[in-house]
Structure 1
Amino acid sequence: MTTPFRDDASLTPPPGCPAHGLGAHGLGADGLRRLYGPEAEADPAALYEKLRAEHGEVAPVLLHGDLPAWLILGHSANLTAMRTPSRFSRDSRRWTAFQEGLVTPDSPLMPVIAWQPLCVFADGAEHKRLRGAVTDGLNRFDRRGIRRYVTRFADQLIQDFGPAGEAELVAQFAEHLPMLVMTHVVGMPEEYGPRLVAAARDLMKGTETAIASNDYVVATLRRMMERKRVAPGADLVSWLMQHEAGLTDDEVLEHLRVVLLAANETTVNLIADTLKMVLTDRRFRAHLSGGHMTLPDALDQVLWDSAPMSLVAGRWATGDTELGGQQIKAGDMLLLGLAAGNVDPVVRPDLSKPLHGNRAHLAFGGGPHECPGQDMGRAIAETGIDILLTRLPDLQLAIPEGELTWTSAWLSRHLVELPVRFTPRAKPAGGAALAVGAVPTTPPPPPPTVAPAMPVAPPVTATVPRQRRSWWSVLTGPFRR
């Protein structure tokens, strides 16, 4: 995961790749609907409803390269897949497409489904060992301490754009706050914050310097691990290294990387979508400001209506089985339809009815792989939004709501920009603001030599193709803004 690309790879997609000449229609040769391409990305919610009308709780679909999969649309069926790992494994090496060599190294599915020695790809005892270390580490942070970090960084971000009387809240607030807080969670010096934010944003957007940014993140984490080996502290790096589960250095590194990037991506979306709701829905804002609805209630409503991740890939059938009236074969891939499950008519016959305080949504998953960092993510979003609305009470959308735009891909949907205006706020005397949006003028330093991870014998024989360096812009497509 840290060195997945060849240095000599071409900078253009290979002939025959799905990135070339994708038709505007959303149907494959066999009539199945694609989860990628113009139609799917233009309006994912409409596509989900078409599939629900045609197939019910579980629908056959095509992924990039027209590889077949099942999309779970029903709320109950999603919970079944999440909660029964004996039937639906998290180990991607079980996938029939891998077994038959159908997934190319250039497939944009690879960053999401290529197996790694992480708790997210493990089941049973190995999953318990790896996840236990992560959850034990995260649970050692109290919400009060996290809120102090959030308050401090939110104030600094607001100080930076406050005097202008206008801001773009996705790029200047939502995309920065989670990572700044997470740098403290993992025990990094404060001066690492802005540069790590810039590197993480660059990495997730798939720019030409994304590889260098990825190397910078990895090198930074390795340096932190070396420091904490000598001088451990009250931070996630130290606790993972000391945990009784006995994680290897590579396991510690990869889980830190996943925690940093996953926590940032989902929390950015939660903050942006909640602020969009506050700024565009008068009734929503009135209930919030009038005390009829708490901010935690508001977050729950947004998590029902705009899950930070639309889909999660995936689960793999351990044997022939049935789900939602469909016959699933051993080795089939199933996609958890979080957004579709949250609007399932069985559980939400009236989508206009508020769901304040109802946490039965699928936004954080469920079962053994339920998101271990959800409490921390909620604390960051809740406190950050509260600070912003308190400091800038007259915050208003600067453009008509109809001009807001999103980018969509098969895994998620992102608000592109949220421009606002407000009464200019004077910067406190002597207040030091963060250089928001600044990108280092020099490239990230080269990473140290990284020893390859010890090979882990797979329980299932499957040839998982290697990813290619030049394809970062395609491979990280699901996360672009």
Structure 2
Amino acid sequence: MDTDGLARLFGPEVANDAPGFFERLRAEHGPVAPVLVDGDLPAWLVLGYRENLEVLRTPSRFSHDSRIWHCFKENRVAADSPIMPALAWQPICIFMDGEEHERLRVAITESMARFDRRGIRRCVTRAAHQLIDEFAGDGQSDLVSQFAEQLPLRVMTQLLGMDEESGPGLVEATRDLLKGTETAFQSNEYLVESLRRLVAHKQASPGPDFTSWLMTHSAKLTDEEVVQHLRLVVIAANENTTNLTANTLRMMLTDPRFRASLTGGSMTLPDALEQMLWDEPPTAVAPARWATGDTELAGQSIKEGDMLLLGLAPGNADPVIRPDLSVPMHGNRSHLAFTGGPHECPGQDIGRAIVDTGIDILLTRLPDIELAVPESDLKWVSHWIARHLTALPVKFTARSPECGTASASSPGSVVPRQNALQEATTIGTDLEGETSAPASSVDAPRSRSSWWARLEKWLRGK
């Protein structure tokens, strides 16, 4: 690949206007564009919706094994490069294909399937109340730093069997390593060491948690495989769920289409989540796939060992499938936000439960919440993987903390399944995590949540 004049994914244009950057590349190169990553290393950025699916669904042509990347083979990637934590091969399922991928994937999905979905919601409810209690009396808050960035790992530390005090440090480390900063390597080391201590603790004292279930699964994962898969879960849960929470709250506070739909009763919170997953997927660019041989994609000549980055955000905005981006996508889950194919995100339903329940609790507690600054003052920071809202200042009527409303549940309330078939019927999911219970189920999508009527009444009075 001729690298002269290629756009840089680590450049200022991405940081200042990632959507515009993607569209410029699409106009210049079509559905697949040549780009440079850190160190001026060449890669292909897949911009088209169909082309992304083609890469995702054909691991025989586009492997997950980063060791075949010619830049690794040629020793062109610095050991402390900020892209190393995301691209360096590790003994985890996202870097594997075939039988070994299936062994590890089954261990993850079956361990996740042991959670009682209502137990997860109880964890989210408890964590959300704790966070809201910290700022409810102030009459103002930054919903990014005080809510969206804190909630996912408050929940995940419980699900993994960690103490709650571990959350803040893990939040900082995971966000730093994904930003590709100069300290990304050290942040990754901090995260891995924390998880190694957790595995050692669970060997001596197992419990009803994801870590213990993964360690004792019949797939017989090694300790290092367990640690690396816990790292994967923590990063994915924090990054994706934080962004989805912040983006959905921002849309609810600023988007006229949302308010018009809300007052008309045509949009529910699950609708809002799916709209955000189309318009602003929490991960804009997903690393990565590597060509197993010389091939062609959208007219581009891909060589063996070339790296392809999955443009989930530009893929969702592909004019071939969405000629009018203003048309609502309610109820349509065919977006690329959780990728697709054999490596589709196994924890997406847990992520949805965290966002859905967390926002429901927030708006029930603070129904008159509104943006405290002009929308034009909101700012984002972008890097090659994602675009983050830096702050979401809001104001509301100050209220006393409601400690008594917080669930008294502990991590033990997230109970393992004793009879998978029976519990699948009870909690509203089958073994693959798809909704299967009738509309009266506790976990069935709610056409009207408790805060909805309050918020609609408030909006109509504006």
TM-score tier after normalising by the smaller chain length = 0.7 to 0.9
Tell me how far apart the structure 1 counterparts of residues 403 and 213 of structure 2 sit (CA, whole Å).
38
- 2:397 matched to 1:423? yes
Equivalent residue, structure 2, for 1:70:
44
Deviation at 1:37, TM superposition (A): 1.1
Equivalent residue, structure 2, for 1:12:
none
Q: Is the 8 A contact 2:82 2:182 kept in 1?
A: no
SS class of match (1:407): strand
For structure 1, which segment, 390-399 or 279-288, has the greater mean C-alpha deviation from structure 2 after superposition?
279-288
In structure 2, relative to structure 1, the CA distance for the partners of 1:319 and 1:206 (3 Å cut) is closer
Deviation at 1:187, TM superposition (A): 1.4
Deviation at 1:51, TM superposition (A): 1.3
Deviation at 1:222, TM superposition (A): 3.2
SS class of match (2:288): strand
**Any gaps of 5 or more consecutive residues in structure 1?**
1-27, 434-481
Paired residue type of 1:224 = L
Q: 1:269-348 maps to which residues of 2 (within 5 A)?
A: 269-288=243-262, 290-348=264-322
TM-score, L = length of structure 2: 0.83
For structure 1, which segment, 59-68 or 220-229, has the greater mean C-alpha deviation from structure 2 after superposition?
220-229
Query: What is the root-mean-square deviation of aligned Cα atoms in Å?
Result: 2.3
Tell me how far apart the structure 2 counterparts of residues 295 and 212 of structure 1 sit (CA, whole Å).
38
For structure 1, which segment, 201-210 or 375-384, has the greater mean C-alpha deviation from structure 2 after superposition?
201-210
Q: 1:7-406 maps to which residues of 2 (within 5 A)?
A: 30-193=4-167, 196-197=170-171, 217-288=191-262, 290-406=264-380
Aligned residues: 406
**Any gaps of 5 or more consecutive residues in structure 2?**
408-462
Q: Is the 8 A contact 1:150 1:383 kept in 2?
A: yes
Percent identity of equivalent pairs: 64
Equivalent residue, structure 2, for 1:3:
none
Tell me how far apart the structure 2 counterparts of residues 368 and 418 of structure 1 sit (CA, whole Å).
36
In structure 2, relative to structure 1, the CA distance for the partners of 1:121 and 1:206 (3 Å cut) is closer
Q: Is the 8 A contact 1:58 1:71 kept in 2?
A: yes
Q: Is the 8 A contact 2:8 2:37 kept in 1?
A: yes
Paired residue type of 2:330 = H
Tell me how far apart the structure 1 counterparts of residues 250 and 277 of structure 2 sit (CA, whole Å).
13
Equivalent residue, structure 1, for 2:386:
412
Q: Is the 8 A contact 2:135 2:141 kept in 1?
A: yes
Tell me how far apart the structure 1 counterparts of residues 242 and 339 of structure 2 sit (CA, whole Å).
18
SS class of match (1:385): helix
Tell me how far apart the structure 2 counterparts of residues 211 and 59 of structure 1 sit (CA, whole Å).
28
Tell me how far apart the structure 2 counterparts of residues 288 and 399 of structure 1 sit (CA, whole Å).
22
In structure 2, relative to structure 1, the CA distance for the partners of 1:166 and 1:223 (3 Å cut) is same
Q: Is the 8 A contact 1:241 1:249 kept in 2?
A: yes
In structure 2, relative to structure 1, the CA distance for the partners of 1:316 and 1:202 (3 Å cut) is closer
Deviation at 1:221, TM superposition (A): 2.9
- Per-residue CA deviations over 1:263-287 (Å, capped at 9, x if unaligned) read 1111000000000000101330342
Equivalent residue, structure 1, for 2:454:
none
For structure 1, which segment, 257-266 or 165-174, has the greater mean C-alpha deviation from structure 2 after superposition?
257-266
Deviation at 1:412, TM superposition (A): 0.8
SS class of match (1:354): coil
In structure 2, relative to structure 1, the CA distance for the partners of 1:229 and 1:59 (3 Å cut) is same
Deviation at 1:204, TM superposition (A): 5.9
For structure 1, which segment, 270-279 or 34-43, has the greater mean C-alpha deviation from structure 2 after superposition?
34-43
Tell me how far apart the structure 2 counterparts of residues 417 and 256 of structure 1 sit (CA, whole Å).
28
Deviation at 1:428, TM superposition (A): 3.4
For structure 1, which segment, 47-56 or 340-349, has the greater mean C-alpha deviation from structure 2 after superposition?
47-56
- Per-residue CA deviations over 1:63-114 (Å, capped at 9, x if unaligned) read 2222111111110000000000000000111111122222222432212111
Q: Is the 8 A contact 1:288 1:298 kept in 2?
A: no
Q: Is the 8 A contact 1:288 1:295 kept in 2?
A: no
Q: Is the 8 A contact 1:165 1:421 kept in 2?
A: yes
Q: If each structure's helix is expressed as a fraction of its own residues, which one has the higher value?
A: 2
Q: Is the 8 A contact 1:241 1:247 kept in 2?
A: yes
Tell me how far apart the structure 1 counterparts of residues 47 and 194 of structure 2 sit (CA, whole Å).
40
In structure 2, relative to structure 1, the CA distance for the partners of 1:216 and 1:99 (3 Å cut) is closer
Which fold has the larger relative contact order, with Cα–Cα distance below 8 Å and residues 6 or more apart in sequence? 1
For structure 1, which segment, 31-40 or 174-183, has the greater mean C-alpha deviation from structure 2 after superposition?
31-40
